[in-house]
A and B are shown apart, each in its own frame.
Chain A
């Protein structure tokens, strides 16, 4: 055996022979000779230019050293045939290669070409309308899902052994591992930003030390839980939606249902519980990082020692402030879990559906977070906490 076989010669012809067209009278008919290579990418002779001034009862097309050909020749012949039909002449193409003729027969019924229509661009207000309708239907879907989850949790409370504890633990782990770096960064920077803003104002009154009060309260009551929730909604919530959406597309959820396993019990509850448990822990962590951010700015910019800052924070931020934040974050966790699981389980059965479900989960999650935060602000205000 030869170790290296000679490769077959590659067609080195750089430019194909151009398409040729000749027409001349032959008895009572007009003889049209087509030859050369017919390429869509190359210029081809025009039919009207050749035939326009010729007369004769019929037109006969014959090959003359016809080389390679493609759709350009087929179209050319179709045009010829149409022209002949219009001017009441016979059109003969039976001398052409058989495969070309069969192709002509195959497309004989082709209608007049239609303009290539672009998909109409909908006006923005129409899209706003569709979005609004979709939002309403999305919002209404939440209600029965909350009901199903509540019933599911009642079932779990009765029979805790049936709960997928292992899945829940795995989800918790996933949640904190994936959220920790971003929560750290975001909440530290939020502390820094708040401290900066406060410092600029408070320094004018010589009340720089109150930066600690402001940062402490704002972070512990609002920003810590909020930032943690937003980060978890964007990471874990979207993850839930993508995961469950994929399961829906692959019929894995159907497979559960036909086994008599409720997909809410099996898939949604462990994730909901995981999000609800992890969120306050992450919020507490975010609080610490936020206060550290404020402390950093005060120590470097305002020359307030860290101990003074800490003592001031301790004096001002009470237990009720921290717990009110953590209670909120528990609900944020439930909201994020609900949004993720709901959107995943209601996902369309397509790849695009999973993407839409994921982004919708984030939007729903953040909307629910802000809505419940506003509600809590009202409740805490009434209760005077």
Chain B
């Protein structure tokens, strides 16, 4: 590793954002460190996706700044913005693979746009990226011909096409079965371990959070900001905030299932 790696790859400073008149997040500040797996968690409607949208430049923040490697993204002009966009990849919630293009074209487009590689070089990179995510030989397939899990992996291959320093994930395990979801987690960890990519993951899949996260940021709807920060195990065990504890821990007084199938003589409601 180089010695001059900066202490933070992303720095979010006093960010306020929302839609129209509604403020969803107010005065949010945090940093993402190199090689870090940071999870952004919180209940529905707490602004996770809004925060992600602001960080990747799809939403304009009301106030504050997002800086990549010390360079402001919010105040960047077109050329600087393009340079910054090159440093991160995004895996969208519903994959957002370009449906009119094959997988090869999907992975190839970022390379065409941002590099001057020859067609042969690109073909080689495409093959490599698709193999990396376990989809070698699927170059000619269209996204619609793939299963949900395969689409997710293809989207990861596209996000990794330019070897970005950061990858953003929007709910990477939504709609995946437990096995595929674990495979996805393994893949994420593998990428981080081998390429040293920093990752920001928006999720509420508890199992993934505990498996992967170096650090979590808990957002809350009422507070419109970060209510806790730390390693998930630590937060689950020691947090004094009931909102954080409730999110990270299983409900202990969850009712036991009564009325199992064998005993349902009289209770066939709405049969």
Contact between B266 and A260 (Cβ–Cβ < 8 Å)? no
Q: Check B57 for interface membership: any CB of A closer than 8 A.
A: yes
Contact between B268 and A258 (Cβ–Cβ < 8 Å)? no
The interface bits of chain A over 231-270 (1 if a CB of B lies within 8 angstroms of the residue's CB, else 0) are 0000000000000001100111011111111000000000
| Contact A254-B96, Cβ < 8 Å, known A69-B266, A260-B82 | yes
Contact between A260 and B81 (Cβ–Cβ < 8 Å)? yes
Q: How far is the CB of B56 from chain A (nearest CB, A)?
A: 5
Q: Check B85 for interface membership: any CB of A closer than 8 A.
A: yes
Contact between B98 and A252 (Cβ–Cβ < 8 Å)? yes
Alpha-carbon distance between A66 and B266 when the two chains are bound, in angstroms: 8
Q: How far is the CB of B97 from chain A (nearest CB, A)?
A: 7
Alpha-carbon distance between A69 and B265 when the two chains are bound, in angstroms: 11
Which residues from A are CB-within-8-Å of B99?
A: 246-247, 250, 252
Contact between A251 and B258 (Cβ–Cβ < 8 Å)? no
Contact between A70 and B96 (Cβ–Cβ < 8 Å)? no
The interface bits of chain B over 247-271 (1 if a CB of A lies within 8 angstroms of the residue's CB, else 0) are 0000000000011000000111111
Main secondary structure, interface of B, reads loop
Q: Check B124 for interface membership: any CB of A closer than 8 A.
A: no
Contact between A255 and B92 (Cβ–Cβ < 8 Å)? yes
| Contact A258-B57, Cβ < 8 Å, known A68-B266, A97-B267 | yes
Contact between A260 and B98 (Cβ–Cβ < 8 Å)? no
Q: In chain A between 83 and 142, which residues have their CB closer than 8 angstroms to a CB of chain B?
A: 97-100
A251 touches which one: B82, B94, B268, B269 (CB < 8 A)? B94
Q: Check B71 for interface membership: any CB of A closer than 8 A.
A: no
Q: How far is the CB of B6 from chain A (nearest CB, A)?
A: 22
The interface bits of chain B over 123-140 (1 if a CB of A lies within 8 angstroms of the residue's CB, else 0) are 000000000000000000
Alpha-carbon distance between A69 and B269 when the two chains are bound, in angstroms: 6
B269 touches which one: A67, A70, A252, A260 (CB < 8 A)? A70
Q: Check B86 for interface membership: any CB of A closer than 8 A.
A: yes
**What count of chain B residues pass the 8 Å CB interface test?**
29
Q: Check B208 for interface membership: any CB of A closer than 8 A.
A: no
Contact between B94 and A250 (Cβ–Cβ < 8 Å)? yes
Contact between B266 and A259 (Cβ–Cβ < 8 Å)? no
Alpha-carbon distance between A255 and B91 when the two chains are bound, in angstroms: 9
Q: In chain B between 63 and 118, which residues have their CB closer than 8 angstroms to a CB of chain A?
A: 81-82, 85-86, 88, 90, 92-94, 96-99, 109-110, 113-114
Q: How far is the CB of A23 from chain B (nearest CB, A)?
A: 22
The residue on A at minimum CB distance from B53 is A254
Which residues from B are CB-within-8-Å of A100?
A: 267
Alpha-carbon distance between A186 and B256 when the two chains are bound, in angstroms: 70
Binding site for A on B (CB under 8 A): 56-58, 81-82, 85-86, 88, 90, 92-94, 96-99, 109-110, 113-114, 158, 258-259, 266-271
Binding site for B on A (CB under 8 A): 66-71, 97-100, 246-247, 250-252, 254-261
Report 24 cross-chain contacts, Cβ distance below 8 Å, ordered by A residue. A68-B268, A68-B271, A69-B269, A70-B269, A70-B270, A71-B269, A97-B266, A97-B267, A99-B259, A100-B267, A247-B98, A250-B96, A251-B94, A252-B98, A254-B90, A254-B92, A255-B96, A256-B98, A258-B85, A259-B113, A260-B82, A260-B85, A260-B86, A260-B114
